[in-house]
Amino acid sequence: MGRYLLRRLIISIPVLFGITLVTYVIVNLAPGDPVSAMIDPEQIANLGPGWLEQQRAALGLDKPLPVRYLLWLKEAAQGNLGFSYSDRQPIADKIVERIWPTLKLMLTVQVLALLIAVPIGVLSAVKQYSWIDYLATIFGFTTISIPSFFLALAAIFVFAVKLRWLPTAGMNTIGHPPSIIDSIEHLILPAAVLGLGQAAPLIRYTRSSMLETVRQDYVRVARAKGLTERVVVYGHALRNALIPLVTVIALNLPQLLGGTVIIEQIFAWPGMGTLAITAVRGRDYPTIMAINLIGAVAIVISNMIADLVYAWIDPRIKYS
Amino acid sequence: MAESWNFDRIVAEWTARGLNRRDLMKLIAGGSSLTAMMTLLGTRPEGVAAQEESQVSVLWSKPVTLNPLFSTSGSEQQIERLMFGTVVKMNDALIPTPDLAESIDVSEDATVYTFKLRSGMTFTDGTPLTSADVIFTIERAIDPRSGSFWRGRLLGIVGASSYNNQEGAAAGTPVAQAITGLAAPDDLTVEITLSSPDAAFLPIFCNFAGLGILPKHILGEVAPDQLQGHPFSLAPTVTGGPYKFVRYETDQYLEVESNASFAGGAPAIDRLFLRILTPEVGLAQLETGELDLMSLPVAEAERVRGLPNVTVTAVPSPSMDFLALNLQRPYLQNKQMRQAMMHAIDREGIVASVLQGEAMVVNSPIFGPDWMGIPEGLNLYEYDPDKATQLLNESGFDKNQRLEIMHIPGGNPAMDAAVVIMQEQLRQVGFNIDILQVDVTELNTRYIQEANFDLFYNAGGVFRADPNISSTYFLTRNFTPGGGNGSHYSNPTVDDLYAQGQSASDQTERKRIYTEVAKILNDEAPWIYLWSPNSLFAVSNRLQGFAPPSYSNNKFWNAETWTVTG
Amino acid sequence: MAQASGTSEGTGDTAPLSALAGHEKRRSGGVWRRFRRHRLAVIGSTVLLILAIGALAAPFIASFSPYAIDLRSYRTGPSDAHWLGTDSAGRDVFSRLLHAGRVSLSVGLVAVTIYTAIGIALGALAGYYGGWVDSLVMRLADVFLSFPSLIIIITLASVLGPSIYNVMLAIGLLGWPPIARLLRGELLSLREREFVLGARASGCGGARLVFRHLLPNAMAPVIVAATFGIAYAILIEAGLSFLGLGVQPPTPSWGNMLTDAQSLTVLESMPWLWLPPGIMIALAVLSINFIGDGLRDALDPYLQHR
């Protein structure tokens, strides 16, 4: 297994290289460039002669694509992510600025989803085809059947505008000194909207995992030994049933870092998703590459974890 | 299978599973206490809590930079004026008025402009604001190494084009280390000399919101090419205007506070929050009282009028909605076809329905200001699909030719609805026409650099401010990418008339000349003229002093005079 | 959203060789029966059938063209002439709803078909051959999975033009890794099972082994995942419409009809603009998800009620 891990890690490097190369090419194919993104069509008459070319040269856009990519690669390999084309700020700073709101939101979402999903999923499995199961199924599926942007706006409308229970948007109340309660209140709506969506598949996973575990031989043995149903189910089976969930959570890791564009836009949450879409729309190549690289690293790691857990669960799977 | 809804049955089953009644009770108790906590946490303050400090929140758009030398968007420039102060600014009638200056003096031949600054002005860190700072700002604006677009506007100053111009040196022009046309006879006087008379210099100098004055003692040592990326550009901590920068939370809001030491008198409102939100959330915050001012999309007007704490004001805007045609494409060079388009679109109908009457149909790009009025004798192009079909058939235009209306979606729901209606109405008449949705970057590339488009649905401009504004878009020498004439319309008669109009001084004469221009542009229809929409603003009742801009789009043109009640 | 582990068969109760043929027959007969017992799945199938018929018959049922504009009926509520009222361009909502069904349902179907086909092909290769083939395919999957899908889709939309076909293509090209991983995982664990060893012992090898014995038993989670994928694709289209990248106007899709209604005024006072597309999306997605759930329970006999 150790050799396998090592080999995976080594292979990851060309994978990352491939990802960055392909992304760079695709992104440069999009019409326009960072300079066109900066122009306000209203003001074009005022820009003066030669300004466009000068800006392009300043950003190094007059060099051919392969040269630009290699320059970027050289810097990135040394850990230097460069400067954003749109506002000339260091990209590393921008990312660090955004990653905390994203983590805050996505971790809450994940925890919320688990808190909802595991109890309901377990109950659903234990009482399969009962009314609890039906209700859980319907609830689970309904929440993922509604597009998130709509759910978000409806939630704001009901809870923030009409009922005034919760704030409309943002991470804290503007103009007031920061407080933990304030932050939590602002976290509730976006986390709930996202969390419900995450919970539904987790309910199904927990349910089917639980169902399978309960059929296993060792569970039969435990029952035969005379242990109460409660100890059997919650003491033995549950623990083993939850292990595959780790796979799922590991696979969710990239999203933890990537955020969600739509929810961030609606709730004015300054996270990685907004950074990404602004960069794409502004053809801010270095920022796009940096975000991409981070996402890629996260995915490679999470896939490895998921594969390892997979193999651990089912010893019949052999990795050569 | 258990299907009973009877509580005891449920409990019995749970018990059989190993859970007992106590657990069930615990679950229920937990759930209800959670709900109770929620309700307690619950009651949100009605809008902003009343404090000794007065706060106002306005809806804003995400800025790219806060440095006046590099801002290309109006929303940034409006706030920069409040923070930095400008020498002259435009008031609402588009007349240059002194801002940081006390007086403006223009020489007889309109080549020498003398600005007397107010005395006793300081930056927020106490350093005096003098003519040296003004000179410094203009030098950096003109310096090719900083990359500011202001350079293009200020090249008329003597010595500007050779200042630090290394490229010019290669062509033989000597590189100048100073701009001879800029002089500061004393700490409070700035003298600008132009190389040739230009009556339009002042309007250009205070274009939109004017040029914010940078602090020389902070930025003087920064190399010009490092200015744009300097932290100061996103956190201008030392400024000289009525409002002082406090913080910019990326993508969330900008906070500025009243500058107590401002020589012109500190603004009454202590704190301004410029919030970055989507319009829907902006409206929600308007209702809860968290937001005090925003531009209102027409479709929401009725609902917002019904809110007790908000007032809706509407003024005619200076802008216009139009379809710009790419006249470089041979199949669009057909005048009768363009006139068919004008007849095919039910402009009155769209104004009545989508715009709820808050607009005025226009038939040329000249429709104001008041002394100009709407030119007489124009073809009104009534909505007449039959006539349109007939004209189209007569024109010889190949109906199989596929056309695309280029459009940026999502910015304005009224425009999104209108473009769909127009496309369908044009289809009805026989055009094979589709909608092409693009983002800003692609739009700029296609419209400005490549001329790769058929029609472009656009809205904006300040046409109503002065009839000469339209020349930006129709003069032969203004072809994109150098200027604003994206259609590449060229008519020597029109060029002549615009030149006459600019040099004429008598208003009656100007009116006559521009009526001529309007007639030609109306007949040739290089653009499909649509309507001039009203600007709607939603203002909370506690904000006093807000005056909707009628000849520009600058909401903040008098922001330092606003007050709040209650 | 498929099963988490590879243990889908029971322990080795079946007698090795002779049980092979009978094993398969018993399974196919049981699938349909078990599916029918899953009530929600049956309801889901019925609902989906109705939606599909409505979509297919749209041109015949709808009284107006989905593009016809009547500016005098701008945003009016339901009436005799317009059963579900009119929208922001004076078009009949009911007709647009039906036509939108065609678009939204087909986006889901086409996109999923593309990526399932790719996923099965690559996953089968990886799972059967193992070794370096497996490594290569999985690394390729990693690469595709690592592309931040939204960035790629937005960029592809700019490069190719934001048409619905490009949306389907983008979802299709990016969505295959989970299917491939699923299939490969199943195959990896099935390879070592008794019945496979038995088949090998009786001389079955190579492609025959894959197609006759391995794939049918491994397909269960793939089918389930693909079914859920259709629902997911419908939701993605809605999300893309929100960003301006989904189905382009004036073509109606449930996603862009819902986006048009993104305003507090509409939310509060014009429910006919958002309820119909919202309900349609929810119904379609719900039904498809129930069907997927039912399929999962039906295809895996050991999960049934004891």
A201 touching C (Cβ < 8 Å) = yes
Residue A48, Ramachandran bin (φ over 0: left; ψ between -120 and 50: alpha; else beta): left
Task: Report the alpha-carbon distance of residue C49 to residue C43 in Å, rounded.
Answer: 10
Q: How far apart are CA C296 and CA C290, in angstroms?
A: 10
Q: What region does B530 belong to: left with phi over 0, alpha with psi -120 to 50, or beta?
A: alpha
Residue pLDDT, tens place only, B100-159: 888 898 888 878 999 999 888 889 998 999 999 999 999 999 888 888 888 878 888 888
Q: Is B263 helix (H, G, I), strand (E, B) or coil?
A: coil
Q: Give the residue from A27, A33, A35, A40 with the most B CB atoms within 10 Å of its CB, the best one to mutate.
A: A40
pLDDT of the residue at A11? 79
Q: Given a cut of 60, is residue B10 above it in pLDDT?
A: no
List CB contacts of B65: < 8 A, sequence separation 6 or more.
Answer: A87, B71, B76, B228, B233, B234
Task: Report the alpha-carbon distance of residue C201 to residue A52 in Å, rounded.
Answer: 73
Is the pLDDT confidence value at B208 over 90?
A: no
pLDDT of B239 > 80? The answer is yes
How far, in Å, CA of C218 to CA of A256, rounded?
Answer: 31
Task: State yes or no: pLDDT of B512 exceeds 80.
Answer: yes
pLDDT of the residue at B530: 96
Chains touching C by CB (3 or more pairs below 8 Å)? A, B
Which of A94, A168, A261 should one mutate to test binding to chain B, selecting the residue with the greatest count of B CBs within 10 A?
A168
B41: pLDDT strictly greater than 50: no
Give the span between the Cα atoms of B444 and B424, in whole angstroms: 26
Asked if A245 and A296 count as a contact pair (C-beta separation under 8 A), the reply is no
Q: Is residue B55 scored above 90 in pLDDT?
A: no
Q: What is the gyration radius of the CA atoms in chain C, in angstroms?
A: 23
Chain B residue numbers touching C268 (CB-CB < 8 A): 303
- Where is pLDDT greater, at C248 or C152? C248
In sequence order, which residues have a C-beta less than 8 Å from that of residue B470 and are 6 or more positions away? Answer: B365, B366, B463, B517, B521
pLDDT at A46: 59
Q: Is 70 exceeded by the pLDDT of residue B20?
A: no
Q: For A244-289, what is each residue's pLDDT tens digit?
A: 777 777 777 776 666 688 888 888 898 888 888 888 888 888 888 8
| Cβ pair C226, C2 in contact under 8 A | no
Min Cα separation A11/chain C (Å): 8
Contacts of B349 in chain C (CB under 8 A): 71-72
Residue B19, amino acid? L
The answer to whether the CB of B519 falls within 8 A of the CB of B467 is no
Count H helices and E strands in chain C, helices first. Answer: 14, 0
**Which pLDDT belongs to residue B393?**
93
- Residue-wise pLDDT tens digits, B435-465: 998 888 888 888 888 899 999 999 988 898 8
Q: What are residue B58's DSSP bridge partners? A: B274, B293
Residues 6+ apart with CB under 8 A from B323: B341, B405, B422, B455, B456, B457, B458, B527, B528, B530
Q: Share the mean pLDDT of chain B.
A: 85
Instruction: Report d(CA B225, CA B233) in Å as an integer.
Output: 13
Selected residue with higher pLDDT from C154 and C96: C96
**Amino acid identity, position B28:** I
Q: Distance, in angstroms, between B529 CA and closest chain C CA?
A: 19
Residue C226 CA to residue A147 CA, distance in Å, equals: 19
Q: In the 3-class helix/strand/coil scheme, how is B530-566 assigned residue by residue?
A: EEEEEEEEEEECCEECCCCCCCCCCCCCCHHHCEECC
Which range, A309-318, B534-543, C123-132, C283-292, is most confident? B534-543
Per the document, the length of chain A is 320
Q: What single-letter DSSP state applies at residue B224?
A: G
Q: Name residues 278-307 of chain A within 8 A of C (Cβ).
A: 280-281, 288, 291-292, 295-296, 299-300, 303
How far apart, in whole angstroms, are the C-alpha atoms of residue B178 and residue B162? 9
pLDDT of residue B173: 67
Chain C CB within 8 Å of residue A135 CB: no
Q: How far apart are CA B240 and CA B244, in angstroms?
A: 8
- Rounded Cα gap, residues C212 and C198, in angstroms: 13
- Residues forming beta bridges with residue B56, ordered by sequence position: B272
Question: Greatest CA separation found in chain C?
Answer: 77
Enumerate the β-bridge partners of residue B163: B176
d(CA C240, CA A262): 9
**Interface partners of A (3+ CB pairs, < 8 Å)?**
B, C
CA B465, CA B550: separation in Å to the nearest integer? 8
Q: DSSP labels for A51-94?
A: HHHHHHHHHTTTS-HHHHHHHHHHHHHTT---B-TTT--BHHHH
pLDDT band at B51 (very low <50, low <70, confident <90, very high): very low
Two structure tokens written together for B334: 């057909």
Q: What is the mean pLDDT of residues C33-41?
A: 79
Contact between residue C115 and residue C176 where contact means Cβ atoms under 8 Å apart: yes
User: Rounded distance, CA B409 to CA B428, Å?
Assistant: 23
Provide, as residue numbers in chain A, all residues whose Cβ is less than 8 Å from the Cβ of C224: none
Most A CBs within 10 Å, among B201, B292, B445, B475, to test the A interface: B445
Q: Do B229 and A49 touch (CB under 8 A)?
A: no
pLDDT at res. A77: 82
pLDDT of C15 above 70: no
Pairing of strands B271-276, B253-258: antiparallel
Element (H, E) at B112: strand B112-117
**Inter-chain residue contact A49 with B482, CB threshold 8 Å:** yes
pLDDT in tens, B540-556: 999 999 999 878 888 89
* Parallel/antiparallel/unpaired status of strands B432-437 and B293-295: unpaired
Chain B neighbors of C262, CB-CB under 8 A: 280
pLDDT digits (tens, 9 = 90+) for C73-83: 888 989 888 88
Return phi, psi of residue C12, to 5°: -70, 70
Q: Which two tokens stand for residue B134?
A: 């003004």
pLDDT top residue among A149 and C208: A149
- A9 contacts chain C (CB < 8 A): no
Residue B504: which pLDDT band, with cuts at 50, 70 and 90? Answer: confident
Question: Could you tell me how many residues make up chain B?
Answer: 566
Beta carbons within 10 angstroms of residue A218's beta carbon: 12
Question: Could you tell me how many residues make up chain C?
Answer: 306
Give the model's pLDDT for residue B353: 92
Name every residue whose Cβ is closer than 8 Å to that of residue B376 and which is 6 or more positions away in sequence.
B515
CB–CB contact A145 C235 (8 Å): yes
Asked if C244's CB is within 8 angstroms of B437's CB, the reply is: yes
* A225: CB partners within 8 A, 6+ apart: none
**Do C278 and C203 meet the contact criterion of CB atoms below 8 Å apart?**
no
CB atoms within 10 A of CB B265: 10
Please tell me the predicted confidence (pLDDT) of residue C23.
42
Query: Number of residue pairs across A and C with CB atoms under 8 Å?
Result: 169
Residues 155-184 of A with CB under 8 A from C: 157, 161
Tokens of B543: 């904000």
Which of B3-7, B157-161, C219-223 shows the lowest per-residue confidence on average (mean pLDDT)? B3-7
- What is the model's pLDDT at position C147? 72
User: Within 13 A of A3's CA, how many CA atoms are on the CB side?
Assistant: 2
Contact A165 B42 (CB under 8 A): yes
Is the pLDDT assigned to residue B43 strictly greater than 80? no
Find the mean pLDDT for residues B251-276.
90
Chain B CB contacts of C89 under 8 Å are 354, 417, 420-421, 424
Q: Using a CB-CB distance cutoff of 8 angstroms, which residues of chain C are in contact with residue B436?
A: 161
Q: Which residues pair with B117 in a beta bridge?
A: B101
CA dist B200 and A261 (Å) reads: 45
Task: For residues C296 and C225, give the distance between their C-alpha atoms in angstroms, rounded to a whole number.
Answer: 9
| Set of chain C residues whose Cβ sits within 8 Å of the Cβ of A202 | none
Cβ separation C263–B280 shorter than 8 A: yes
Report d(CA B115, CA C177) in Å as an integer.
68
Dihedrals phi, psi of C288, to nearest 5 degrees = -65, -40
Minimal-distance CA residue of chain B relative to A172: B252
CB contact under 8 Å between B44 and A174, yes or no, is no
Judged by CB atoms closer than 8 Å, whether chains meet at A30 and C255 is answered as: no
Which residue in A has a C-alpha nearest to residue B19's C-alpha?
A230
Closest CA relative to residue B365, chosen from B270, B433, B268, B461: B461
Asked if the model's pLDDT at residue C206 lies above 70, the reply is no
In one letter, which amino acid is C272?
W
Average pLDDT over residues C149-171: 76
Residue among C107, C148, C130 nearest C231 (CA): C107
More confident residue, B79 or A299: B79
% of chain B surpassing 70 pLDDT: 89
**Which chain A residues are Cβ-neighbours of C147 within 8 angstroms?**
19, 22-23, 292
User: Predicted confidence band at B169 (pLDDT cuts at 50, 70, 90)?
Assistant: low
- Going by pLDDT thresholds of 50, 70 and 90, the confidence category of residue C9 is very low
Q: pLDDT exceeding 90 applies to what percent of chain B? A: 47
Closest-approach residue (CA) in chain C for B278: C263
Q: Mean pLDDT throughout B203-211?
A: 80
Q: With a cut of 50, say whether residue C42 has pLDDT above it.
A: yes
Residue C202's CB is within 10 A of a number of other CB atoms, namely 11
Helix H or strand E encompassing B80: helix B74-84
User: How many CB pairs below 8 Å do chains A and B form together?
Assistant: 189
Contact between A37 and B444 (Cβ < 8 Å): yes
Confidence band, pLDDT 50/70/90 cuts, at residue C11: very low
Residue B196 burial (10 A CB sphere; 0-12, 13-18, 19+): exposed
Q: Which of residues 34-63 of A touch C (CB under 8 A)?
A: none
Does residue B75 register a pLDDT over 60? Answer: yes
Mean of the pLDDT values across residues B173-183?
81
pLDDT given at position C25 = 42
Interface contact A314-C290, CB threshold 8 A: no
Pick from A66, A317, A223: which is nearest to C181 by CA?
A317
Rounded Cα distance between B62 and B72, Å, is 12
pLDDT at residue number B386: 95
Q: Please, is A148 exposed, middle or buried when counting C-beta atoms within 10 Å of its C-beta (0-12, 13-18, 19+)?
A: buried
B neighbours by CB contacts (3+ pairs under 8 Å) = A, C
Q: How many whole angstroms separate alpha carbon B323 and alpha carbon A176?
A: 46
CA B14 to chain A, closest CA, distance in angstroms equals 9
Is the Cβ pair C146, A300 closer than 8 Å? yes
Which of A102, A144, A162 is the best substitution to test chain C (most C C-beta atoms within 10 A)?
A144
Q: Which amino acid is at A262?
A: I
Q: Under a CB-based contact definition with an 8 Å cutoff, are residues B391 and B339 in contact?
A: yes
Closest A-chain CA to C259:
A150
Spans of chain A below 70 pLDDT: 1, 40-50, 235-236, 255-259, 313-320
Rounded Cα gap, residues B86 and B141, in angstroms: 14
Instruction: Give the B window 200-229 contacts with A, CB below 8 Å.
Output: 207, 225, 228-229
Per-residue confidence at B489, pLDDT binned at 50, 70, 90? very high
Residue B244: which H helix or E strand, with range? strand B243-249
Phi, psi of A315 (to 5 degrees): -65, -10
Mean of the pLDDT values across residues B487-498?
94
A134 touches chain C (CB under 8 A): yes
C91, pLDDT greater than 80: yes
Check C285 against A26: CB less than 8 A apart: no
